[in-house]
Structure 1
């Protein structure tokens, strides 16, 4: 466990988890040891977490001067850690009370902050403390839980300044299961209560100055709230997000104050997408869609859509080449990559997401290159919206005839997946029994179309692919012997086909 010496000679500890670019994490509590953050629900798979034990907590030393526990006086500890790590700029994550320390650091050292993630922040530093009324209103959202009455009464007593007669920690978690109970039980031994009293003490905050600084902060800021959290509730989190020059709000459904425990996947995808400078997001009908963009912003746009089980990274080679002359957008469909995994999947849902994505980004008329399942969604969109797409490329797209024999249930592979397994049975059901009107309307596709077939090693029926091409009025068929993954197995040949088609 590494340590460093901060400004007043106190030795502070930090813990490292995962790989990748460093993410400096400030725990809440207030003044709780960083152990409770764990690996932040799997975020350590995307970033190297640098978990700081604040002075007097965890493995860090107790300072000689107890007044140094005050929030604003710990800003120098964050700066000392940044210098110790040899980083010019840092990505900074603060949880709960620790978000206030993160904000004060950003106010004092704005040029040192690249990105700022505030997880269920209690925004005292902005002069926006969660009120008892807000906390109790959020608690009442859990009224159908079997433990609600006792927990609510205890919480109301605590907020009224009375000794609670029972435990109310269940209200802080989206799921009151064994993992949440163990997490809550650990709080007593992980928190320095005496230090916490000083953390919030008089003089710690100057809300007007902090709000002014945040309004000028030249760094993207994520404010992530839990749907069922009262400190902050989503409405307060929205007001906090509005204080930043480049602030965005995300509300994690069915989550409380520790969203990485309530839904690790949703938390990780949201925060990882925000922290990745190559990833952007847009929300379509309540679903957050992640995408990657490269190339000159004034160049003609082209949108790349992956197949089932893939994501925007599948197009890395193709995107890099096209970006020389094009503005390239590579999308993660719902249930894939860093986009939301809402649990409801169909060709129609993918089509509607694609329509919303193009509309919100002002990409009507863009060229569209789509693979397999993504190609089927793109074809449905082209059938519904003549003129909505410029040129259309359908790579190894299923022609939407019923599979013979029907595809049976598939066993989920072990381990973590880069997509929601629920996509597989949902789409297999549609492939087994597709709506016949889909293939009956190929003639409605009124844009120049390139159909790319993968040849005899593909699992897609090549005769039916050729039939599909014949039904599209302005289509040409090109076969590249590569199997189903043409653009990854033979990228040069695929790019040549795009070039000859006019996408260059």
Structure 2
């Protein structure tokens, strides 16, 4: 168990778990050691957890002066730990009562905080309400002024009873922080570890953004200049926006590229209920949530079907449409066989698969009927005989969309991965 010496000479202990960028974790209460965090639901697979035992808990020594256990004095312990770890700025996570400690540290050392994650925080720092634990710590106005200098994102995970029983606390925190809020259990890493890890990973990743789309938090990646013409890339089933990285990096030379993770995939929420219309709604809400009037949309497989439905239902949102080897919205003959679940941990929510399989075997007849309503210039790219998608059905699909072009690249189903140069050439010839 590694240890370091605080400024007043008290020996403090911390625990290291996992690998990756360090995340300093403060336990929830002045008498609680950090061991209850465990691995934070598996977050240690993605970050180096630095679990600090506060003064007088776990492996840390009792201080000679009990007054140094006050939250304002323990901010010095975090600063000493930061120096000990030789970190210029820190990612800081705090649970329950230690939210107060984290808030006070952020107010005192705003330039040292890279991000702040508060889980069901008990903080009242900056409150003007008399009799709170902030009395005598910082002047409330000074605390708020200091936090205004915090140039770091804040993730606030509040349990339902936090907002229900103490709604003033959530409002108080909202006034203190420009935070990104999300409902969670009081111990979310225990009650729903997958959702907790996905949320925190997306929040801490410098290249991941998030927005609410049709009630689902969608994580997404961007490339290119913000002022460049936008293009949205929709991934296939079981994938994520990261699957488009090689293509996105090339398109970013002239375009602003957005690649979301659909619900049930990657680092987005996994709502548990899935289907093509939900995917279409997410794609629509994503584009509108970005504040874009209309975009070019490129969709692979499942994402291609979502893009087709979007272009048919909301033609004003889609300038140009490219669909890469999508399963056509016509009943297959024979029906698609049921997909068997792979062994091990999946990077997507398994119920996506049976839901999509069922809709592909019995698609809504209106989907095929609405193809004629697509106004956007459309390019259909088929993967040729090596693809499991019937290519004659793709020809039928292209024939039902007014003016659609059909191009075949003999690459199988994963065209943009297997033959990226030919895929990009097809996009360029189409005007993307």
Which range, TM-score by smaller chain? over 0.9
Pick one of 438, 446, 468 that aligns with 2:375. 446
- Retained in 2: the 8 A contact 1:225–1:232? no
For 1:355, the equivalent position in structure 2 comes to: 284
- Alpha-carbon shift at residue 408 of structure 1 (Å): 4.3
1:260 counterpart = 2:193? no
For 2:175, the equivalent position in structure 1 comes to: 242
For 2:148, the equivalent position in structure 1 comes to: 215
Q: TM-score, normalised by structure 2?
A: 0.95
For 2:234, the equivalent position in structure 1 comes to: 305
Runs of 5+ in structure 1 lacking a partner? 132-198
Map 1:68-467 → 2, pairs under 5 A: 68-127=68-127, 203-229=136-162, 233=166, 236-244=169-177, 246-252=178-184, 255=185, 257-467=186-396
- Alpha-carbon shift at residue 44 of structure 1 (Å): 1.9
State how far apart, in whole Å, the 2-side matches of 1:329 and 1:216 are.
30
Total equivalences in the alignment: 432
- Retained in 2: the 8 A contact 1:226–1:234? no
SS at match of 1:228: helix
| Distance change (3 Å), C-alpha of 1:106 and 1:460 | same
1:21 counterpart = 2:21? yes
Q: Deviations over 1:6-51 (max 9, x none)?
A: 2122222211222221111111123311111111122222222111
State how far apart, in whole Å, the 2-side matches of 1:262 and 1:98 are.
20
- Retained in 1: the 8 A contact 2:124–2:169? no
- Alpha-carbon shift at residue 242 of structure 1 (Å): 3.0
State how far apart, in whole Å, the 1-side matches of 2:143 and 2:309 are.
50
SS at match of 2:125: helix
| Distance change (3 Å), C-alpha of 1:494 and 1:349 | same
71-80 vs 434-443, which deviates more? 434-443
Q: Deviations over 1:146-179 (max 9, x none)?
A: xxxxxxxxxxxxxxxxxxxxxxxxxxxxxxxxxx
Q: Deviations over 1:122-149 (max 9, x none)?
A: 12213288x9xxxxxxxxxxxxxxxxxx
- Retained in 2: the 8 A contact 1:403–1:431? yes
401-410 vs 200-209, which deviates more? 200-209
State how far apart, in whole Å, the 2-side matches of 1:238 and 1:491 are.
49
State how far apart, in whole Å, the 1-side matches of 2:64 and 2:165 are.
33
For 2:61, the equivalent position in structure 1 comes to: 61
**Deviation above 6 Å: which 4+ runs of structure 1?**
none
352-361 vs 54-63, which deviates more? 54-63
Higher relative contact order by CA 8 Å / sep ≥ 6: 1 or 2? 1
For 1:178, the equivalent position in structure 2 comes to: none
State how far apart, in whole Å, the 2-side matches of 1:105 and 1:425 are.
48
| Distance change (3 Å), C-alpha of 1:235 and 1:295 | farther
493-502 vs 421-430, which deviates more? 493-502
| Distance change (3 Å), C-alpha of 1:402 and 1:233 | farther
State how far apart, in whole Å, the 1-side matches of 2:273 and 2:171 are.
27
Q: TM-score, normalised by structure 1?
A: 0.82
Runs of 5+ in structure 2 lacking a partner? none
104-113 vs 45-54, which deviates more? 45-54
- Retained in 1: the 8 A contact 2:75–2:101? yes
| Distance change (3 Å), C-alpha of 1:202 and 1:472 | closer
SS at match of 2:422: helix
State how far apart, in whole Å, the 1-side matches of 2:101 and 2:123 are.
10
- Retained in 2: the 8 A contact 1:369–1:395? yes
- Output the aligned Cα RMSD: 2.1
- Retained in 2: the 8 A contact 1:222–1:241? no
- Alpha-carbon shift at residue 320 of structure 1 (Å): 1.1
- Alpha-carbon shift at residue 237 of structure 1 (Å): 2.1
For 2:52, the equivalent position in structure 1 comes to: 52
1:486 counterpart = 2:415? yes
State how far apart, in whole Å, the 1-side matches of 2:136 and 2:108 are.
16
- Alpha-carbon shift at residue 233 of structure 1 (Å): 4.5
- Alpha-carbon shift at residue 235 of structure 1 (Å): 5.9
- Retained in 2: the 8 A contact 1:122–1:232? no
